[in-house]
Amino acid sequence: MVQDHEAARRMMVLGQITPNAVTDPLLVQAMGEVPRERFLPSSMATRAYADESTPLAPGRFMLQPMVLARMIQTVLPQPGERALVLGAGSGYGAAILARMGLVVTAVEEEQPLVSLGQSALEFALHGNRPSLHVGDPARGWPEGAPFRILLIEGAVQRVPETLWSQLGEGGRAILVRARPGMMGQVCLFRRVGGTVSELPVFEAPAPLLPAFAESAGFRF
């Protein structure tokens, strides 16, 4: 049976996004227009609009739609702002921000996911598209700094200090702090006066990103 992806996308917005206090009109519109199924392997396309994190590759997942939407809304993105997406997977979160009118750079370490994302973006967006790069998400993208928005698409155990230096004055960052044996904690960070502050926002499930797993010398 061929799935009606447009109908499933509408149901995702009506059943998962707006009931969870996502009210930003540009975000709601983007979630209703960007074809999430294009950013998944063909074998996973039928699960594109399920209320869950969706497998992309071994050990890698696309965030649950509601979690991604709430994370994006929390950083109050504005058209024209420069955003950096790390652990971007196939680029769906980056595509949402670009559809909202932001200038987006995305970094992903797995070449097959970048290739999938680049093909998806050719179909999904016209005009303003994110720039999707193969690289180490833990390094960020210093070539393009400073950024006003930083989105890490998954749970993290460590954040290298170099990433905060890429967040410009007045910038906002959002990520999910991994907590062993507990649900993840979405945290908002703001850079004001050269100081980065942290505010817990809500709990959410999120798979751990390998690039931000704990290692010797780094603790978050």
What's the whole-number average pLDDT of the chain? 94
Examine residue 106 and state whether it is found in any structural domain, yes or no. yes
Q: Which residues contact 103 (CB under 8 A, 6 or more apart)?
A: 80, 81, 82, 83, 128
Other C-beta atoms within 10 Å of 162: how many? 12
Exposed (0-12), middle (13-18) or buried (19+): which is 57, by Cβ within 10 Å? Answer: middle
Domains: count for the chain: 1
Residue 52 — very low, low, confident or very high, per pLDDT cuts 50/70/90? very high
Examine residue 217 and state whether it is found in any structural domain, yes or no. no
- Residue 54: beta bridge partners? 62
Residue 194 — very low, low, confident or very high, per pLDDT cuts 50/70/90? confident
- Residue 46: beta bridge partners? none
Question: Which pLDDT score, from 0 to 100, does residue 92 have?
Answer: 98
Helix (H) or strand (E) holding 7, with range, is: helix 5-12
**Domain boundaries, position 97:** 5-212
Q: What is the CATH number of the domain that holds 99?
A: 3.40.50.150
Contact call for residues 25 and 100 (beta carbons, < 8 A): no
Examine residue 111 and state whether it is found in any structural domain, yes or no. yes
Examine residue 219 and state whether it is found in any structural domain, yes or no. no
Question: Which pLDDT score, from 0 to 100, does residue 220 have?
Answer: 43
Place of tokens 């062993």: 180
Tokens matching residue 100: 């909202």
Tell me the percentage of the chain whose pLDDT exceeds 90: 91
* pLDDT tens, position by position, 15-43: 999 999 999 999 999 999 999 999 999 99
Residue 14 — very low, low, confident or very high, per pLDDT cuts 50/70/90? very high
| DSSP assignment of 99-127 | HTT-EEEEEES-HHHHHHHHHHHHHH-SS
Examine residue 207 and state whether it is found in any structural domain, yes or no. yes
Residue 56 — very low, low, confident or very high, per pLDDT cuts 50/70/90? very high
Examine residue 40 and state whether it is found in any structural domain, yes or no. yes
1 pLDDT above the threshold of 70: no
Contact call for residues 47 and 40 (beta carbons, < 8 A): yes
Examine residue 165 and state whether it is found in any structural domain, yes or no. yes
Tokens matching residue 150: 């930083």
Examine residue 218 and state whether it is found in any structural domain, yes or no. no
Helix (H, G, I), strand (E, B) or coil at 2: coil
